[in-house]
Amino acid sequence: MPELPEVETIRRQLAEKIISKKWKDKKITDVRRKGKMIVIDFINGSSLVFHLKLTGQLILNTNPGRFTRQVFNLSDGSVLVFNDQRKFGWWKEVKNADKLKEIQQLGPDALTISRKEFIERILKRKNAKIKPLLLDQKFIAGIGNIYADEILFSAKINPLRVVKTLTDEEIERIFISIGKILRMAVSKRGSSVKDYFDATGAEGKFSAYHKVYQKTGNPCSICQTPIQRVKINQRSSHFCPKCQM
């Protein structure tokens, strides 16, 4: 947290409010997203890059608090506040964001990857378990634990499955579910599970649509079988043992 839908929500809100304003006399020309990172571009080619990690927040025109790490004062008097309770998040002012190591090592974006590229990339990782693979930002950028669980439930794929056991039709279902779940989550401004607030300070609404994430013991919305939780590579995974084969 925050994952692609949360970061994309913040990006869109910031783009609407801060483009053409100035920070340190540098005009803001664009607000982009790279995986789970936000990039604020300036007219001179430099950028501010943010990674919110677990508890980071970027909120416009809020009062600084005990977890505020930086306040960015903009030319019109508005402020952009960077909060981070656990201090794992970071921001950098860089000359060329696209040359940043953390950005260069990202795989294709989960919202824009083509069917052809997704299939080509997944077939090169035949021995990988599907859940950790979806979390691998070098394989595909933007998906975290929440949306990997929801994507695999939508695709009816067990998170423990190895890629080489997947049929062409199952791979197709995963690809379709990535787009479907992420776009739906963006439309609801993301999921407020713990510390996430969008750039206006509001909670996301997609948590109400979660089918399996943190639903351990609850009946599956399709078959009523209790949702199970397992650890895969030290990460919790939630799934329906009957619907996800």
Q: Which residues of 41-67 are buried (b: 16+ CB within 10 A; e: fewer)?
A: bbeeeebbbbbbeebbbbbbebeeeeb
21, 235, 241, 242: the active-site residue: 235
2 is catalytic: yes
172 is catalytic: no
Query: By the 8 A CB rule, do 87 and 69 touch?
Result: yes
Residues 245, 225: Cα–Cα separation, whole Å = 13
Strands 79-84 vs 68-73: parallel, antiparallel or unpaired: antiparallel
Residues 6+ apart with CB under 8 A from 26: 42, 43, 44, 46
CA–CA distance from 147 to each of 31, 56, 222, 237 (Å)? Answer: 23, 18, 18, 11
Task: Tell which residue, 175, 111, 188, 96, has the closest CA to residue 142.
Answer: 111
Strands 22-23 vs 235-239: parallel, antiparallel or unpaired: unpaired
3, 6, 8, 150: the active-site residue: 3
145-155 vs 168-187: helix axis angle to the nearest 10? 130
Query: By the 8 A CB rule, do 159 and 177 touch?
Result: no
26, 36, 189, 215: the active-site residue: 36
3 is catalytic: yes
2, 5, 132, 159: the active-site residue: 2
CA dihedral over 159, 162, 168, 172, signed as positive or negative: positive
Q: Which two tokens stand for residue 212?
A: 């399996």
Return the active site residues: 2-3, 36, 235
